[in-house]
Structure formats: structure tokens, C-alpha cells
Amino acid sequence: MPDSPRRDHVCAGSLAAVVDIDAAIGFVVAHGDAVERARLSWLRNGTAPSAETLDSAEVGQTLGGGWPASWGDEVASVDATCFRLAELDDLGALSRPAARRALDWLAAAQRQDGCWEEDAALADVAPEWARPGDPEARLYLTANAAFWLTVAGLDARAAGPLDHRVGGAYAGVVQAAGHALAGHLNPDGSWPSFLAAGWLSAAVLHRQQLFYESARIKAVLAERLPQASPADAAWLAATLRRVGVDEQEWTVVAARRRLTETQRSDGGWTSDDGHQFDVHATLAVIRAFR
């Protein structure tokens, strides 16, 4: 009997693992809001979202171009802007004016050392991964901002007729960030920051053709994957696939295998940030298996 078309297989050696994508789709349909269901439609078959949905996804943007975080009043946040860009990417909306203003804002916010940091006004309210002045937060935010500027450059306007570097219009910004990220790696391939900074950095360095540095990070990540949370495994796999890492690359295979072990009976996956983000985590899985 042939395999069901409703299931995706991940193979490693003689073992096969299965994710029930139809159940994941059903979970998003049942529990997602209008924007999340529109993201699902784009990821599944490229269905363009309605103007109302796009307006809803873009609401709250500051005049400067960034988006504020829920914890940051009206001050634009690097972390919140990257999160919003991830949502817009799932709507095929990175080429729209709102996303372009946000990307330009990110590029302009890069520091002279190639890194990013949240506005000092957020010091008393920012969570640990975004706290101004904290070196671990700085490295995470740098990896996150550089990743989205890299992604935008995959499809964006060119840096110039004689400049074909990765990052399009943001090529110089991304190159500086890549060198900053590589410079923070420890000899064993680890990094002095949060786990997510690892796969975001690996993706940026992969696109910068710093393959050795990217591989060192991925080797460390592979050791962590058997115990990784579902949300982390989904974010890792979706991140690497978004910059063109092959689906048969061993880190991606390991992450997707972890996802086969953690799918819930309702078809979804559990977020580390509370049940209200379970749909977001599940959409990341669907992107990873896209």
C-alpha cells in the first residue's frame, strides 16, 4: 500500500519518521487567527492574502520603520521587528512598503561594530534576550537582524550593477554582521549567547559562504537537538531551509526528526512562549517541511 500523501517522511539510515502535515494544517485552521490562517494559505499554495489581512499584519509600525514590542510602549524594537518580519515573510509580504521600511530601519540601526542592540530606553522593561547593554542579548539580536536582512536580500533589489554580494541592498550591512558573528565564535564552535543565536548565525554565515564557521555551529546544535524543544527544532529547521540549506543536510534532518517525536495528538506543537504561540510554532514546522 503506498504511503499517504498527507504525511511527510524524514529518512536517516534505515529509520523513517513521519510528521502528519494534514493534522498540523487542521490545528492552524482550528486555532489560528485570520493572519495565521492566511500565513498557512501562503505556505501551502502561495495564495495571496487579502488587503485587510496585510493591513492587520502590518499595524502598529512606527514612523521610523520598526515595530514596538508588547513590553516596550511605543519604542521600536529590533526583536519585535524581526518577529513581525517573520510573520510577513509567511504572507509573501517582504517586498511591500511596510517590510521595506522595517528592513531599512534595521540596516540603519546597525552599530559600528556590526552588531545590533535595543534602544537604551528599553533597559528597564526588555526581557533578557533583548536587554540593552547585555552582550548575550547583543549577539542574539545581531544574528536575528542579520538573518532577516539576508533573507530580504535573496529576493530584493540589487546592491548595485557591479555588486552581487549576498544581501542585495543590504550587502555591506550583512557582511559586517557576518564577520561580527564569526568573531564571537569560541574555538569549539559554541557562542556566548542564547541557543537561537546559533542557528540564526549559522544561516547568515552559510549565505556569506563562511561554510566552515557555519558547520562548526551546526555541529554544536546537532548535539542539542535530541533534547531540543519543539519550538526550537522548528525554528532551527525553518531558518536553515529559508536560506537554502538542503533538506538532506544532517542538521536539518536531525531537527525534522525531533519534530516527528514531538507532534501532539491535536496536530500542533508546543511553543516555549505559552500556548498562545502554539500556532506560530506549528506554522514554523509547516515551513520547515515545505
Q: Is the pLDDT of residue 237 over 60?
A: yes
What is the per-residue pLDDT for 159? 45
146 phi/psi in degrees, rounded to 5: -65, -35
**Distance between CA atoms of residues 240 and 147, nearest Å:** 10
pLDDT tens digit sequence for 19-35: 999 999 999 999 999 99
Task: Give the C-alpha distances (Å, rounded to integers) separating 60 from 20, 83, 146.
Answer: 35, 13, 23
Task: Give the C-alpha distances (Å, rounded to integers) separating 59 from 41, 84, 97, 130, 212.
Answer: 20, 10, 13, 22, 40
Domain range annotation of the chain: 26-289
**Least confident stretch, 17-26, 78-87, 129-138, 161-170:** 161-170
What is the per-residue pLDDT for 15? 38
DSSP run (H or E) holding 41:
helix 34-45
Q: Is the pLDDT of residue 138 over 70?
A: yes
CATH number for the domain whose boundaries are 26-289: 1.50.10.20
- pLDDT category at 18 given cuts 50, 70, 90 is confident
How much of the chain, in percent, has pLDDT values that exceed 70?
89
Amino acid identity of residue 104, one-letter, is: D
pLDDT tens digit sequence for 170-225: 889 999 999 999 999 999 999 999 999 999 999 999 999 999 999 999 999 999 99
User: What's the mean pLDDT in 8-29?
Assistant: 72
User: What's the mean pLDDT in 139-163?
Assistant: 77
Q: Which of 22, 25, 31 is nearest to 277 (CA)?
A: 31
Amino acid identity of residue 265, one-letter, is: S
- pLDDT category at 6 given cuts 50, 70, 90 is very low
Q: Is the pLDDT of residue 14 over 60?
A: no
**What is the Cβ-side half-sphere exposure of residue 72, based on CA atoms within 13 angstroms?**
25
Q: 100 or 8, which is more confident?
A: 100
**Distance between CA atoms of residues 108 and 274, nearest Å:** 32
Question: Buried b / exposed e across 80-91, counting CB within 10 Å, b at 16+?
Answer: bbbbbbbbbbbb
- What does pLDDT average to over the chain? 90
Q: Is the pLDDT of residue 157 over 80?
A: no
Task: Show Cβ contacts of residue 30 under 8 Å, excluding neighbours closer than 6 positions.
Answer: none
- pLDDT category at 153 given cuts 50, 70, 90 is confident
* Cell numbers given for 128: 533578557
Q: Is the pLDDT of residue 167 over 90?
A: no
Q: 53 or 165, which is more confident?
A: 53
Helices 51-58 and 78-89, axial angle in degrees (round to 10):
160
